[in-house]
Amino acid sequence: MELTTALDARDATVCVVGAGGKKSTLFALADRLDRPVVTASVRIPIFDDRVATVRVTDDPLAALDEAEPDGWPLGLVPERDRADRYLGYDAETVAEISDAAPGATLVKADGARLREFKAPGDGEPQIPATADVVVPIASAHVVGERLSDELVHRPERVADITGRALGEPLRPADVAAVLASPEGGLNGVPDGAAAVPVVNKVDDEADAVAAREVAEGVLTRSDVSRVLLTRLVEGGVAADDPVVEVVE
């Protein structure tokens, strides 16, 4: 299945949360959609090289009106924060952007400090009420690794959801429990929005076996309709066909 179809992303407001592939998912979608906007409700690393145009503006609706025909995908951010990242808009402004955008609005809606797995903290994620699709992401590479802050953002929150102790190995069931939890991957999903969890970094058959078990656990624990297994980056570059499998 093609990525935009698997995520119901065409002309939708898609918010990515979790860890282990948020930005790669945003840019993979942006490359495949017509006139998409890429934005954020939290800090986002500089991404000027991943879209046609980035506008740093406190008037994003005017920037949409002024967009050139060759200016898509269009990145919209309010302010630069340090040398390596932008700030994000508040969720209400993101909702206004999505209402005015001509195509999909793709939103980074929480942070993970480059970890492979996370559970949200207080005030996370920042999902606009107009979101159509929320994509909770985890990396297959955390399966078998110890529950610690080396690979996990907010490991104590993961421990609370899973019942695992800090330092214990993470099982597929633990990753599934977080992705499927209202205090984890499904936290803040608006009424009427679809949640489509993603297990990313399925780089070999061992990853695929673990990811399938995660996916089956998510489907057992929640009412989501499908879970995507993806390989968004292959050989250091964006994968041509990132969807490895759809588990329903």
| CATH number of the domain within which 235 lies | 3.40.50
β-partners of residue 45 are 85
Q: What SS3 class is residue 213?
A: helix
When computed from its CA atoms, the radius of gyration of the chain, rounded to whole angstroms, is: 17
Q: Give the pLDDT of residue 83.
A: 86
Buried b (16+ CB within 10 A) or exposed e, 111-139: bbeebbbbbbeeebbbbbebbbbbbbbbb
Give how many domains the chain has, as a whole number. Answer: 1
Where helices occur in 41-199 by DSSP H, the ranges are 60-65, 91-100, 155-162, 172-179
Residue type, 185: G
Domain that holds residue 109: 3-247
Closest to 18 in 3D by CA, of 112, 129, 131: 112
**Per-residue pLDDT tens listing for the chain (248 residues):** 999 999 999 999 999 999 999 999 999 999 999 999 999 999 999 999 999 999 999 999 999 999 999 999 999 999 999 889 999 999 999 999 999 999 999 999 999 999 999 999 999 999 999 999 999 999 999 999 999 999 999 999 999 999 999 999 999 999 999 999 999 999 999 999 999 999 999 999 999 999 999 999 999 999 999 999 999 999 889 999 999 999 99
**What number of H helices and E strands is found in the chain?**
7, 17
Q: Give the pLDDT of residue 149.
A: 97
pTM: 0.97
